[in-house]
Structure 1
Amino acid sequence: MPAFLAERDAEARELMDDPRCDVRTLERTYRRFALVNAVVSGQRALYRRWLRPRLRRSRPLRLLDVGTGGADLPRRLLRWAEREGLAMTVLGIDPDERAIGFARRHPAPGLELRAVATGALRADGERFDAVVSNHVLHHLGDDEVAAVLDDSAALLAPGGVAVHGDIERSRLAYAAFAAVTWPLQAGPLRDTFIRRDGLTSIRRSRTASEAAALAPAGWRVHRAFPSRLELVRETP
């Protein structure tokens, strides 16, 4: 039997992905994501490294957030750009109507939300200056990841960048998340799916070599902190 976490557990399922899960718990989970993602998702690094150099005052950068969930990432990116006097608009998409319904109840200037997948945008001929996602790829099977990456490349405008950030599976990541979230169960993470689903997410996530094996030509895998991977593609 392989050592724990030596192989990806593609059969593990997150509670929030269950269409029958408790809606109130799901919405509390969306609300708490803003706190958790601020710590573990490298959002500031995403903004500084990949988006900030492309932002201008005169022309809005058009960004696509794939699998937006409760849309905490686009709201944060829009705030950072606004504080610097830079222009950005964001389309957040998620095929889960529950996520889009929650996000629409928390609007932000410059944020549009649609319950669609990347393939629909590609079919419509949409183009974006940046395509991003946060902790989405581990939810998907290998064929689905390949399709999202292919769509992302097709959706990029000239000079654009796609950055799909996800967890890198490791025993250290699992142990650290388990330890940090244990005392929070009775506080900020109470009555949410975050701790259990977070541990499941690590089991479902890929290593750098596994991600590289899935990435089509033109994509590269970039390691980030803490225990994160970024699949990156830039267009000339």
Structure 2
Amino acid sequence: MTPGFPSLAERAVDAVEEMDRPDADPRRLERTYAQFWLINAVVSGWRRNYVRYLRPLFREAGGGSLLDIGSGGGDVARSLARWARRDGLDVEITGIDPDPRAHAFASAQPAVKGLTFRQAFSSDLVAEGQVFDVVISNHMLHHLTPEQMQALLADSRQLARHLSLHSDIERNPWAYALFSIGTRPFFPGSFIRADGLTSIRRSFTREELLTVTPPGWQGRQHRPWQNLLFCPPPGRVPGLSKEA
């Protein structure tokens, strides 16, 4: 392990991110939501995911619908909506988050055509009989208990007509070290740095993730330090190849 940093041999399942606490400082929390777009642009890889996995599917269908579960401040959903419109694709995107603070922040941002937000759990949409062409989540799996994760994956299979794609951080000593050093001078007054380090400690390796994933899902690693879960695998989704 890198000197001066904690061991990442096992998941820190008991560690709690500050923004997840019900009594989190509202100003720091709002600043965190406002800064997520930069972190996600650098580390989450959704532009790559859109180009490789989502755009081919929507081009073949001439458009479609997408659900972002746990959309937080809404920056990933906002980016996907803009990229789709720029490519001439008619894609309706819904972002859901059960946290009223996240929903309030996302809903207060400038409107983007084809994008709506709801305060809801994925189970609420299952109960309503909703279906979307694509279901995604970003950096959410590591937040969940084993029971919550199984429920989320089951919900996403019911909600997705064609593809479920969940992206999460991969626990790695170098990821921890680089994030710790790279974010030290930045993001004052927010939870970005502290919670990002906690997220890495809580996240899965690829092997760990596959051991807790139900049958029918495929795991894939993307660098730097990202895990993707697909259902069904890309080779069985219209518009996507196994080598996408």
- Provide the TM-score with structure 1 as the length reference: 0.93
- Extract structure 1 runs of 4+ deviating beyond 3 A: 56-60
- 1:42 corresponds in structure 2 to 45
Q: 1:176 aligns with which of 172, 175, 178?
A: 178
What SS does the aligned partner of 1:27 have? helix
Q: 2:36 aligns with which of 33, 36, 56?
A: 33
Unaligned runs of 5+ in 1: none
- In the alignment, the residues of structure 2 paired with residue 33 and residue 60 of structure 1 have an alpha-carbon distance, to the nearest angstrom, of 27
Offset from partner CA, 1:80-139 (integer Å, 9 cap, x none): 111111111111000101000110001321111111111111111111110001101111
Aligned residues: 228
Counting only pairs closer than 5 Å after superposition, residues 74-153 of structure 1 correspond to structure 2 as 74-106=77-109, 107-153=111-157
Offset from partner CA, 1:30-51 (integer Å, 9 cap, x none): 1100011000000111101111
CA displacement at 1:77 relative to structure 2: 0.6
**Aligned residues: percent identity?**
46
CA displacement at 1:230 relative to structure 2: 0.5
Offset from partner CA, 1:49-88 (integer Å, 9 cap, x none): 1110012498531000010001000110111111111111
Task: Give the 3 Å change call, closer, same or farther, for CA 57–223 of structure 1 in structure 2.
Answer: closer
Check the 8 A contact 1:57/1:85 in 2, yes or no: no
- In the alignment, the residues of structure 2 paired with residue 182 and residue 133 of structure 1 have an alpha-carbon distance, to the nearest angstrom, of 27
Q: Which amino acid aligns with 1:66?
A: I
Check the 8 A contact 1:163/1:233 in 2, yes or no: yes
- 1:161 corresponds in structure 2 to 163
Q: Which amino acid aligns with 2:130?
A: E
Unaligned runs of 5+ in 2: 1-5, 238-244
Task: Give the 3 Å change call, closer, same or farther, for CA 33–47 of structure 1 in structure 2.
Answer: same
- Provide the TM-score with structure 2 as the length reference: 0.90
- In the alignment, the residues of structure 1 paired with residue 11 and residue 41 of structure 2 have an alpha-carbon distance, to the nearest angstrom, of 25
Q: 2:73 aligns with which of 45, 67, 70?
A: 70
What SS does the aligned partner of 2:184 have? helix
- In the alignment, the residues of structure 1 paired with residue 198 and residue 183 of structure 2 have an alpha-carbon distance, to the nearest angstrom, of 13
Q: Which amino acid aligns with 2:169?
A: I
